[in-house]
């Protein structure tokens, strides 16, 4: 099933909050981190071109697209950020700049959080470099 990005739900057949064991038949590598972060397990799925992070129970909590990320028929990777903002009609609620070493060279990437729709968009030189999809958790009122 190839649908692309479904906000706050899925990317293609990878569904947020699904058990990672449902996808381990696919060509992948697993990485376990020793440092304490929001999660200590990630998977790279080669054929799908995505990275997936899981919580400690093996449930998918984040999907990262860096090669392609289709949303409503448009590939977001490489899209000018202003074009994306015009199309999505939601403003980011948080922003930070992060220095990354990419292919031996530094990049100051701009990271925009759209927590109402479960997206984090990484931008360099005004173009989208990667998109993270996560499930919005409603706070108890």
For the chain, domain boundaries: 5-134
Confidence of residue 140 (pLDDT cuts 50, 70, 90): very low
Compute the average pLDDT of residues 40-57. 90
Q: Please name the residue that has the structure tokens 């190839």.
A: 2
- pLDDT at site 136: 80
Residues 137 and 8 sit within 8 Å (Cβ to Cβ): no
- The residue with tokens 């392609």 is 68
Quote the CA–CA distance of 12 and 140 in Å, as a whole number: 30
Residues 95-115 pLDDT 10s: 999 998 878 888 899 999 999
Per-residue pLDDT band for 67 (boundaries 50, 70, 90) equals: very high
Q: What are phi and psi of 55, to 5 degrees?
A: -80, 180
Residue 96 bridge partners (DSSP) = 111
CB 50 within 8 A of CB 76: no
Report which of 2, 24, 15, 18 is spatially closest to residue 68, judged by C-alpha positions. Answer: 2
């Amino acid at each position: 099933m190839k649908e692309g990005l479904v906000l706050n739900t899925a990317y293609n057949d990878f569904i947020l909050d699904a058990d990672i064991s449902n996808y381990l038949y696919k060509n992948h590598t697993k990485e376990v981190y020793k440092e304490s972060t929001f999660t200590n397990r990630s998977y790279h799925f080669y054929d799908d071109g995505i990275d997936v992070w899981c919580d400690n129970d093996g449930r998918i909590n984040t999907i990262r697209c860096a090669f392609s990320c289709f949303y409503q028929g448009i590939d977001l990777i490489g899209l000018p950020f202003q074009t994306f903002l015009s199309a999505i009609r939601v403003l980011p609620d948080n922003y930070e700049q992060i220095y990354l070493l990419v292919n031996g060279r530094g990049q100051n990437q701009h990271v925009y959080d759209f927590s109402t729709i479960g997206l984090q968009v990484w931008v360099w030189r005004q173009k989208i470099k990667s998109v993270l999809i996560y499930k919005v958790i409603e706070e108890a009122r």
